[in-house]
Structure 1
Amino acid sequence: MVEYLPRSAWNARPPNGGPGNLTVSRVEGAVIHWPGTGSTSVIHTKAAVASALRGWQNYHMDSRGWSDIAYQVAVDQAGRAWTLRGLRTQSGANGNSDLNERYGAILLILVTGEQPTAAMKATTRAVIADFRRIYPRGTAIRPHSAVRPDGTDCPGDAARAAIARGEFTPGHSEDDDMTPAQMQELKNFIEARTQAYALWTHRQLRRDLSAVVKAYALDIKNYERQTDAADAARAAAAVWATAPPSLQVDGSPTQAPEAPDPNVDPAPELPADLEPFPPVDTSAEPPADGAAPAAESAAQ
């Protein structure tokens, strides 16, 4: 939505009558104009634009005898939209009554050799979008030089080129104005940024996943240790609860023996009547008559 500065913003004079409003069914489009002063002195500040508009209004009303400044809306290089006659009022700028009834008139405040800024183009597109909402059939966007019967340089080479490129057409994107080299450069930049972001994301996810895996493994070990201990305790309690009377004291199950340490070998249990090994004769005297020791004789 365009914010239009009112006529009071440039201290406009009241119009002298006028041709009235455009007929919606007759409007074919909008014509783009420029002041055509021949000067290269830019008109950029708000005060300078307001002063210029007052001067053009005086010229149109006092020298040309028109009812008001000729155009409907003006757009400056800062992107400001100025109400002149207004979009509904028929202009006096296109060349004759028939053209003024068929087209609106938008003034671009450009001087000789000046290119329209991105702000000017964006606001002009928005003004034309508003124009089309009022006049649905008025979709044409034409330079003044394309419609004036007597010919004119208006609106200048820069504005004509912008019209031809569609830069004043609603919906146009400034990206469409890029050269093939600029487009390729932008594509390369986007691809490089995308790859860098993908690599960063991969590293972050890998680091986070590694931490999650370690924490999960530790939790599993703790859970298994606690579960095994609890299961062993429950199993022992169940066994001793069903123990036979021979293992019970005073009719109650004896206390379960302490579980053996799996890391220590159990001591061997020996029968009570097992004879010990015979004592070993440690004397240094040899047996008499060269006889072999008893153990050795038994072995033969």
Structure 2
Amino acid sequence: MVEYLPRSAWNARPPNGGPGNLTVSRVEGAVIHWPGTGSTSVIHSKAAVASALRGWQDYHMDTRGWSDIAYQVAVDQAGRAWTLRGLRTQSGANGDTDVNERYGAILLILVTGEQPSAAMKATTRGVIADFRRIYPRGTAIRPHSAVRPEPTDCPGDPARAAIARGEFTPGHSEDDMTPAQMQELKNFIEARTQAYALWTHRQLRKDLSAVVKAYALDIKNYERQTDAADAARAAAAVWATAPPSLQADGAAAEQPAAPDPNVDPELSLPDLDPFPDAPAAAEAEADAGK
């Protein structure tokens, strides 16, 4: 559910009467609008949006003679949803009475040439989902130019293209990333993968080297102990055949204990290096080549 800013957030004037609520069974969908001011000066801050909404309400009521600002809900580039007439009240923005009775009206606060932001598209999807909960048969999403009896450029080419791509449709799976953002994510994943592969290679090489050294040392120790044991056994055999007088003067060589074959030798392996950050991948690769 979308959190809607109330009319008091933009200091709205009270409406002069109005057409009343939409009839649920008649609603076919929602129509997407833009202000169409011809300006390229963006309207992004909360204060700027509130001021613009008051200006458009004054124009609609004082110049056009309408009961209120024409649209039901406005969505800005920051993803804020503003209550205008409200989703249940019939709009005055779509064209003639018949079209206004069959469609709701959502205003995207865009200026000429401006692309809808990811936040704007996400909130608009939420608003349309709320709209469909009220009007289950109202599943169509149309640009104003497709329903108005007279020609209009509303809601502008960028919004019209977004509608065609389904980017305002609830449940749309597109992640709203720009091509540049997609490339940046791809680069990050590739760098992270390379860094992990290099880290794994270096750790395995280090561990294998430690195992080889420990094994070689173990073999030497075993051979040394085995050779000493063999020498002691040979000396004992010689002393056993020696005359008693010699045995009295000498002492049998003390035989060292043989290593226990059932006990694994204790190995001292190095601690793992910390996993490198993705930006350090290039530096790690250079180190690996040294």
TM-score range, shorter chain: 0.5 to 0.7
* Structure 1 unmatched runs, 5+: 219-260, 273-300
Cα distance in 1, alignment partners of residues 196 and 133 from structure 2: 43
Identity of aligned residues (%): 86
Is the contact made by 1:166 and 1:172 (CA closer than 8 Å) also made in structure 2? no
Aligned-pair distance for 1:92? 1.1
Q: Match for residue 252 of structure 2? A: none
Cα deviation digits, residues 146-202 of structure 1 (max 9, x gap): 1101111111122212222222222242457538xx867755653453243244245
Cα RMSD, aligned residues only? 3.5
Answer whether contact 2:6 2:82 (CA < 8 A) is retained.
yes
Partner amino acid, structure 2, of 1:115: Q
* SS of residue paired to 2:163: helix
Match of 2:112 in 1: 112
Asked if 1:267 corresponds to 2:269, the answer is no
Distance 1:199 1:83, change over 3 A: same
Distance 1:82 1:214 in 2: 71
- The CA distance in 1 between the partners of 2:116 and 2:95, in whole Å, is 24
Which 5+ residue runs of structure 2 have no aligned equivalent?
Answer: 218-231, 245-290
Match of 1:169 in 2: 169
Matched, 1:30 2:30: yes
1:269 CA displacement: 4.2
Q: Which residue of 2 aligns with 1:78?
A: 78
TM-score (norm. length: structure 1): 0.65
* Counterpart position of 2:126: 126
Distance 1:268-1:172 versus aligned 2 partners, 3 A rule? closer
2:195 aligned with 1:196: yes
> Which stretch shifts more, 142-151 or 39-48?
39-48
Distance 1:264 1:26, change over 3 A: farther
CA 1:269–1:9 in structure 2 vs 1: closer, same or farther (change >3 Å)?
same
| 2:287 corresponds to | none
Which secondary structure does the structure 1 equivalent of 2:32 belong to?
A: strand
Shift of 1:10: 0.6
CA distance in 2, matches of 1:80, 1:176: 19
Q: 1:82 & 1:263 partners in 2: Cα distance?
A: 100
**Partner SS, residue 31 of structure 2:** strand
Deviation per CA, 1:37-72: give whole Å up to 9, x if none.
222332222222111111211222222222211101
Letter of the 2:51 counterpart: S
Residue 229 (structure 2) aligns with = none
CA drift at 1:210: 7.9
**In structure 2, what is the equivalent of residue 143 of structure 1?**
143
